[in-house]
Amino acid sequence: MTEEEKNQNGAPEGTPEGTPEGTPEGTPEGTPEGAAEGRPPETPQDLIEGADSGETVEAGLDLGPAKGPALDQDEGQVQSDTERNRRKERVGLVVSDAPEKTVTVSVEALVRHPKYKKRVRRSKKFMVHDEGNEAQVGDTVRIIETRPISARKRWRLANIVSRAE
Give the CATH number of the domain where residue 146 resides: 2.40.50.140
Question: Model-level pTM?
Answer: 0.50
Half-sphere exposure of 112 (CA within 13 A, CB side): 3
In a domain, 100, yes or no: yes
Provide the residue count of the chain: 165
Per-residue confidence of the chain (165 residues) as pLDDT tens digits?
566 655 566 555 555 555 555 555 555 555 555 445 555 555 666 655 655 555 555 555 455 555 544 444 444 444 455 556 789 999 999 999 999 999 999 999 999 999 999 999 999 999 999 999 999 999 999 999 999 999 999 999 999 999 988
Question: How many structural domains is the chain composed of?
Answer: 1
In a domain, 154, yes or no: yes
In a domain, 105, yes or no: yes
- Domain range for 156: 86-162
In a domain, 10, yes or no: no
